[in-house]
Structure 1
């Protein structure tokens, strides 16, 4: 159907609802039936000690790096609880992508430096001139060690603090199973944690069963790597971690199937 390449296709979005609405609207305009099935939700850190100490001693850091909007939100929410606002912006500020930069701007920290490639590797490349300096890195407990590892190789002192935890969302997992049982055509992943929960919820046999007919779409390199580790190479990867690019990747994966 011209202009509606996803007509009669069912697409499952596994990221939290608030972050899914723009993509869902785009997919619906292309004809898709969209199921929101957030596989993960955030929870407080296992301990506030590290984050509290970092917030109260922020002046000792030359720079701060954020790799998710949720990390930004958790960081500033805790600062608000501690009555530590407003926080002085570090001399150097880095964000992995536009969504993270937007969260920083909303909190009052504007103009972070962004990499061309929205990944830990891309971020490490733009974090220059920090040898011998201290960098604050608030993150999820389950966060990858790629960025701190690359920075330490450059002689940077990295302080990682747990700002939040990512845990499975039982309600979202139930919606996922229902959608798959009814014949979902594609599943969109926007985080390594969602890919891990998907693989665990379905098991190896369930993943293989879905992949025999369904398609998987990734938001970017880091998520794609996690998907491959879970035994499900993405059918398509977004060129940029934004809704418009994700929607194009979904179309690419499903239209490629139709033309095969």
Structure 2
């Protein structure tokens, strides 16, 4: 607060603040003082208080530090001046201990809430204590820290529906931001028992120009069997390798395979565009190992451009075992804020697990990893409120943080 600006001290029951209620103060360079005309008027309006001339004169002439009116607050230099009752000598009296919490009580039991002339007549004469010290009031108080600045998801109950072996990354990221995570896998990833078609395709790498990986699951199923089939990562590298997104690319790199193409958008259509940008695909042969049930956008997009595409299913998603009754009850009771969905299969698994009534209740928000998952969720009537702009786990977490920062309620579709 700039020097010379007016402030007010609110009154309080039996405290010094009550004496100055609605009295204008000045903020000086070193503290708060009553304006000079108020100091002169104070004894008139408060007959029980007298301001000694010597301390007052010293303050006004700048001889002493300006005396902040601080209710029991400790001062740096412990000097005090007592303003005795009218008619008494200006001899300082024993003062209450510095730093005592709360208000400094006034003598007598008069109410502090009357007008100035009324307060002075309600009880014995009072002694106003003012502390002289070098404490400086800040120009303004710092803003209150934003609640949950380091934990923006604190207090939010968020369900993670990914397969158990894939849920860790998302769960840890949410917990690090303060969320209470409920891991409820709605699907399991099951490699197909018969992978002979995949083996035959991989043992003749010259048969294909490209291999396209559309999920981490495919990477694990394929690469975990290379050694068993007498192959190595270098055999995959004889083909051009495309990965649908950074998570799939990182999974490949852990096996020693570096993708040639990772599109900027992590959907099948973007893979087609990125591959075509590398050169003509007409007549090229593509191997696409994938889930048994998957969108056909990728193979159809390549075939539309003249490519020869072999799609080989290598795994399937099945509903995770377990009873969804407890989760359904929490959803219907409104105690879940968000359900995260990272694939169309998790959407279907979630609805199967908790039932259509709970899934479409509108008592929670669905947070989806991208537009394909969003479309599946809306098709089944789920209340989609949050959609990642970056179709990754990190993008989903960022979307959740942004949603609540912008005032999201966690209930229903926005």
Provide the C-alpha distance between the structure 1 equivalents of 2:375 and 2:270, rounded to a whole number of angstroms.
15
| SS of residue matched to 1:147 | helix
Aligned pairs (5 A) from 1:41-56:
41-45=188-192, 47-56=194-203
Partner of 1:234: 384
| Alignment correspondent of 1:126 | 274
- Cα distance change on mapping 1:178 and 1:232 into 2, 3 Å: closer
Cα distance between partner residues in 2 of 1:174 and 1:78: 38
Deviates more, 1:66-75 or 1:27-36: 27-36
SS of residue matched to 1:213: coil
Q: Which residue of 2 aligns with 1:217?
A: 367
- The aligned residue for residue 160 of structure 1 is 311
Quick one: structure 1 residues 186 and 88, their matched pair in 2 at CA, closer, same or farther if it must change by over 3 Å?
A: closer
- Corresponding position of 1:244: 394
Q: Is the 8 A contact 1:54 1:161 kept in 2?
A: no
Q: Residues 324 and 354 of structure 2 are in contact (CA less than 8 Å); yes or no, is this contact kept in structure 1? A: no
Deviation of residue 176 (structure 1)? 4.2
C-alpha change, 1:46 and 1:174, in structure 2 (3 Å) is farther
SS in 2 for 1:247: helix
Query: 1:5 — aligned with what?
Result: 152
**Equivalents in 1 of 2:323, 2:314: separation in Å?**
23
Partner residue of 1:107? 255
Unaligned runs of 5+ residues in structure 2 are 1-146
SS of 2:189 mapped into structure 1 = strand
Indicate yes or no: 2:325 matched with 1:171.
Answer: no
CA distance in 2, matches of 1:155, 1:233: 40
Counterparts in 2 of 1:49 and 1:245: CA distance versus 1, 3 Å: same
Q: Residues 132-180 of structure 1, C-alpha deviation per residue, up to 9 Å, x if partnerless?
A: 1100000010121111111111111110011111111113856744653
TM-aligned CA distance change 1:140 to 1:195, over 3 Å: same
CA contact (8 A) 2:205 2:239 kept: no
Separation in structure 1 between the aligned mates of residue 230 and residue 162 of structure 2, nearest angstrom: 31
Task: Write the distance in 1 (CA, Å) between the matches of 2:299 and 2:359.
Answer: 32
Shift of 1:254: 4.2
Task: Give the structure-1-normalised TM-score.
Answer: 0.90
Instruction: Give the distance between the partners of 1:106 and 1:6, measured in 2 at CA.
Output: 31
1 or 2 for the larger relative contact order (CA 8 Å, sep ≥6)?
Answer: 1
1:110–1:133 Cα change, 3 Å: same
Q: CA deviation at 1:239?
A: 1.7
Residue equivalent to 1:191: 343
**Greater Rg over alpha carbons, structure:** 2
State the superposition RMSD in angstroms: 2.3
- The match for 1:117 is 265
Tell me if structure 1 keeps the 8 A contact 2:283–2:307.
Answer: yes
Could you say if the C-alpha distance between residues 254 and 124 of structure 1 is closer, same or farther in structure 2, counting changes exceeding 3 Å? same
How far, CA to CA, are the matches of 2:396 and 2:366 in structure 1?
11
Question: What is the TM-score normalised by the length of structure 2?
Answer: 0.58
The number of residue pairs the alignment matches comes to 258
- 1:69, CA displacement in angstroms? 0.9
1:50-65, aligned counterparts within 5 Å? 50-65=197-212
d(CA) in 1 for partners of 2:358, 2:388: 25
Distance (Å, rounded) in 1 between the aligned partners of 2:281 and 2:383: 35
Which is helix-richer, 1 or 2? 1
Specify whether residues 85 and 2 from structure 1 end up closer, same or farther in structure 2 by C-alpha distance, changes over 3 A only: closer
Counterpart secondary structure, 1:235: strand
Match of 2:116 in 1: none
